[in-house]
Amino acid sequence: MNNQTSLYAGRARVCHFASAALALTSLLLISHSAKGDETCSSPYMARIEGQEEFVYVWTLGVEGLGDGADKLVVVDAKPGSPMYGKVIYSKSVEGRNEAHHGGFTDDRRQLWLAGLETSKIFIFDVHSNPAKPALIKTIDNFEKVTGGAVGPHGAYALPGRVLIPALSNAKDKGGRTALVEFSNEGNYIATHWLPTKDTAGVAGAEFADGYGYDARVLPRKNALLTSSFTGWNNYTRNFGDLVKDPQAMKQFGATMVMWDFHTRQPKKVFQVPGAPLEIRWAWGEKHNYAFTATALTSKLWLCYEDENGQWQAKEVATIGGQGGVLPVDISLSADDRTVFVDCFGDGKVRVFDVSNPQQPKQIHEKQIGKQLNMVSQSWDGKRLYFTSSLLARWDKTGDDNEQFLRAYSWDGKELKSKFDLDFTALKLGRPHHMLFGATNIGS
């Protein structure tokens, strides 16, 4: 018997005992499960106990509006608070960086906020005073230390470290890019370039484009899944000009990649045309699948493990009928039954019943604004928050350039407005990624 086998040699002998213990464990975990956290947060992260108290909004600065700088905006979300639904604090960072996504460290003590254009990452302490986060460090040498990755997209908590999927590279500022790891202290650890056609040992390598966007893990399957968008040249370009350039429009990701998470080695490339963006793994104990939406083709895709234990990807629904509505952020409920799909093109959220993940069915849609990008959902599925901005140069113009944070309640059938913040009238900027904060952090 080899060592790895012998590790489990006692399993059979204790199966009855173990079953009882696991049942007890399950009860303990259920009774202590948090109810307030975002459904799309990293599984490695400490959770909010109770309800979210704050919504942190990473906001793009707008020239001539307020101080013009990117900023972290804090909105009070405590029910019954006299400041409920109001901005209670904002902290500007240096300049405009194409503020995009962010994420907490696993202990939830820091919030990392990334700038796509300058490749700066701003690290805030959200532990000492969650209502007034303090900027404690700026990573301003991302390109240099990572070996040429640029466009840090967000931050995904891993144990003691942060995984940052980038969008581009310094060499040609196209879509080839990497996953990068930093320690929670903000020190560089490693760069993992996305696979290309030359990468050995990867199934489907012939389809590989080397592009990246989101990166998320299903721990019990040791599965890391990445998606793909476009490079610096495209996401910093005026959208109207971009869509008129056929060559530029070819420079969008058309793949997802399954990795061995522990070894950080790519294993399989899937053809997913049309820029697959946000990845949402299901939470159920037996649910071995994730959803994504393709921005340019308006499709909902499922990446799933088949009956032979092989990972597959397939299109499972059209979003918004024919013509394309530019689906962007998506949110899967904690019970894996409902997906909310934000559509930038027409400003609607479309809600799908995905209790059968192979056959999603749209059950509701609502006009949220004239443009719509991000959605964050509470763990109990009762509260959703929406923001408007996609990218500084891709947002709509004129009267269509609404910039808002809008909060809704969800009862399983319809969305009802709870509060509405006009970020232009408040001279804040373009609100983008939202993350939940609280003073009570649990297990």
Partner 1 sequence: MNLRHFITMLALVGVLPSVAGGDADYVPPVPGTYNLPVIKPAGDGEVIDSQNHSLHLRELTHGRVTVMSFIYTRCAATKACPFATGVLRQLHQESQNDPALSKGMRLISISFDPAMDTPQRMADYSTLARSERPAAEWKFLTTRSQAQLQPILESYGQAVNKRANPNDPQGPLYHILRVFLIDANGNVRNIYSSDTLDPRLVLADVKTLLKERGGSASNVPAVLR
In whole angstroms, what is the distance from residue 349 CA to residue 364 CA?
Answer: 8
310 binds partner 1 (CB under 8 A): no
Please tell me what DSSP assigns to residue 206. G
233 or 362: CB nearest partner 1: 233
Please tell me what DSSP assigns to residue 143. H
100 binds partner 1 (CB under 8 A): no
- Taking CB under 8 A as the binding criterion, the range among 113-121, 188-196, 238-246, 427-435 that sits at the site for partner 1 is 188-196
* Shortest CB 169 distance to partner 1, Å: 5
285 binds partner 1 (CB under 8 A): yes
- Taking CB under 8 A as the binding criterion, the range among 90-98, 262-270, 357-365, 397-405 that sits at the site for partner 1 is 262-270
Member of 30, 32, 366, 370 binding partner 1 (CB under 8 A): 32
- Residues in 207-226 at the binding interface with partner 1, rule: CB under 8 A: 219-223
Member of 128, 129, 141, 183 binding partner 1 (CB under 8 A): 183
Closest CA to 365 of 341, 396, 331: 341
Write phi, then psi, for 109 (nearest 5 degrees). Answer: -90, -20
What is the four-CA torsion angle of 149, 138, 110, 265, rounded to 10 degrees?
Answer: 10
Which H or E run includes 280? Answer: strand 280-281
Member of 86, 91, 109, 393 binding partner 1 (CB under 8 A): 109
176 or 430: CB nearest partner 1: 176
284 binds partner 1 (CB under 8 A): no
394 in Cβ contact with 345 (< 8 Å): no
- Taking CB under 8 A as the binding criterion, the range among 22-30, 294-302, 390-398, 425-433 that sits at the site for partner 1 is 22-30
Q: Exposure string (b/e) for 141-161, b if CB count within 10 Å is 16 or more?
A: ebbeebebbbbbbbbbbbeeb
* Shortest CB 24 distance to partner 1, Å: 8
User: How many residues interact with partner 1 (rule CB under 8 A)?
Assistant: 62
- Taking CB under 8 A as the binding criterion, the range among 104-112, 367-375, 386-394, 404-412 that sits at the site for partner 1 is 104-112
* CA of residue 2 relative to chain centroid, distance: 41
Member of 33, 35, 44, 312 binding partner 1 (CB under 8 A): 44
In whole angstroms, what is the distance from residue 281 CA to residue 46 CA?
Answer: 18
Torsion sign (Cα): 361, 365, 370, 373 = negative
24 or 243: CB nearest partner 1: 24
Q: Is 22 helix (H, G, I), strand (E, B) or coil?
A: helix
- Spatial CB neighbours of 304, under 8 Å, sequence gap ≥ 6: 288, 289, 290, 311, 312, 313, 314, 357, 358
What are the residues binding partner 1 (CB under 8 A)?
Answer: 3-4, 6-8, 10-11, 13-14, 17-18, 21-22, 24-25, 28-29, 32, 43-44, 46, 106-107, 109, 145-149, 159-161, 169-171, 176, 178, 181, 183-185, 187-191, 193, 219-223, 260, 262-265, 285, 440-443
